[in-house]
Amino acid sequence: MSTHRLIHLCALALALGSLGLTLWHGLEDRGVALAFGVFVAVGELTRWSAPQPGTPARHPGPQPGVAAPLAAAGALAYALVGQAAGEATRHGAAQVVAVVLAASLAGCVPHLARGQHGTLDHLARRVLTVGFAAVCFQPLYNQGAFDAWIGPAYALLLLALLALTALCDAVLAAATARSRTGWPFGPLLQDELRGLLGIGSAVCATGAVMALAVAVAGLWALPVFCLPLLLVQLAFRRYAAVRATYRQTIASLARATEVAGYTPAGHARRVAALSRAVGRDLGLTEPELTVLEHAALMHDIGQLSLVDPVPAGATARLDPAEQRRIALLGGAVVRQTGVDPAVAVVVERQADPWAEQPPAARIVRAVNAYEERARDAGPGGALAALEELRLGTADDYAPEVVESLARTLARESDPAHGWVTHG
């Protein structure tokens, strides 16, 4: 059984058990449950989905950070609430899971109606992480185990529980992505943990503050203390919009060679998509993948400096000296655009012997050569191109990159991706 299906089954079992216990014993503290339920549902309605650029839709990659920060903070706060306006609450861990599940389902209806991918994974992670936090806190709190924890010690306790819960969620997210894509688990987990340093830390802090504030001030603390997190979410959306615009600018620059007739239409886009997939397979982290993708988009931009265009833009069949000259011209152009200097380095070194290249340059060179050889070869062209690359692993192409390319093509053989048919 695949990992993501096992996670879904565990979440389903926890959800059904919690719903059954809640229906059997009845809903405690209905006002508190309703307030937190509405808060979580509204947070889910505003859930933000920012897919990774260049990631195929059929195999969604990890999305570092928290997709619904308001809902996550509210759900975690409810799991750690022991008092409301000075009065002890009576709900247990099962009710926490049941209320959060019902509210999340209500808030996810529009996302499910739009067929947004990743919603089931999101719900499974929400159920398991909230259940983890509630099981760690509610039974011990109701037994009086935390009565001696007052002041800063109690606040640190809540933060520690939330940190453990965030780590649990990161592991679940990385394991789900690993199961669905086959990408290495380590870099996926590293990307998830990096996301926790951003909005994830704000979610944990807000969840702890909400739980403490509700204990003293009551339910009016919910809308008051959600405002800072709402502003953070808006700032992250604006940042994502800026990044999207930045990538579109790079893609437009890359299309200059196509508009000028130096390279076939869609060549840069296909090389960038396949390079990113190979980089994932080889374990590159998200910042490294961004540099790789941008370099792959702009890898042919040096051809704009040529007086006589290369036939079909196929630089892989030129002699090494001419390849290096075009690569250096491309790096000079990239440096003039103000793009990350790391991108220019990859473009400049894509024609060097593979043993002297950085990993991103090795990937761009191999993928570009594969795309040039396979796009016009007709049936069987992909296999012939791979065999030709394997024969060139002595000097031209890194063996591990060629094998990763073969694995990626085998995994993504659907012609809809455009990597094998090159239509």
- For every residue of 266-328, DSSP letters joined together read THHHHHHHHHHHHHHHTT--HHHHHHHHHHHHTTTGGGGG-SSPPGGG-GGGS-HHHHHHHHH
Mean pLDDT value of segment 406-412 = 82
Q: What was the pLDDT predicted at 134? A: 94
Cα 7 to Cα 64, 68, 177, distances in angstroms: 19, 20, 12
Q: Which CATH superfamily is domain 256-417 in?
A: Hypothetical protein af1432 (1.10.3210.10)
**Stronger pLDDT, 314 or 414, i.e. the higher one:** 314
Supply the pLDDT for residue 383. Answer: 82
Domain ranges of the chain: 3-246, 256-417
**Best mean pLDDT range from 78-82, 329-333, 349-353:** 78-82
* C-alpha 274 chain-centroid distance: 17
DSSP labels, 345-356: HHHHTTTS-GGG
Q: What is the DSSP letter of 415?
A: G
Top-confidence residue, 301 or 59: 301
Count the helix, strand and coil residues of the chain and give each as a percent rounded to the nearest 5.
70, 0, 25
What average pLDDT does the segment 115-141 reach?
Answer: 87
Give tens-digit pLDDT for 376-408. Answer: 666 667 788 888 888 888 778 889 999 999 888
Predicted local distance difference test score (pLDDT) of residue 222 = 86
Mean pLDDT across the stretch 3-10?
91
* pLDDT of amino acid 255: 84
* Model confidence band, residue 113 (pLDDT cutoffs 50, 70, 90): confident
Per-residue pLDDT, averaged over 296-309, amounts to: 82
In the predicted model, what is the mean pLDDT of residues 22-51?
84
Spatial CA neighbour of 121 closest among 183, 46, 59: 59
Confidence of residue 59 (pLDDT cuts 50, 70, 90): very low
Residue 418 has a pLDDT of 41
Mean pLDDT over 68-81 rounds to 90
Q: What is the pLDDT averaged over residues 21-36?
A: 91
106, amino acid identity: A
Q: Are 208 and 155 a contacting pair, CB within 8 Å?
A: yes
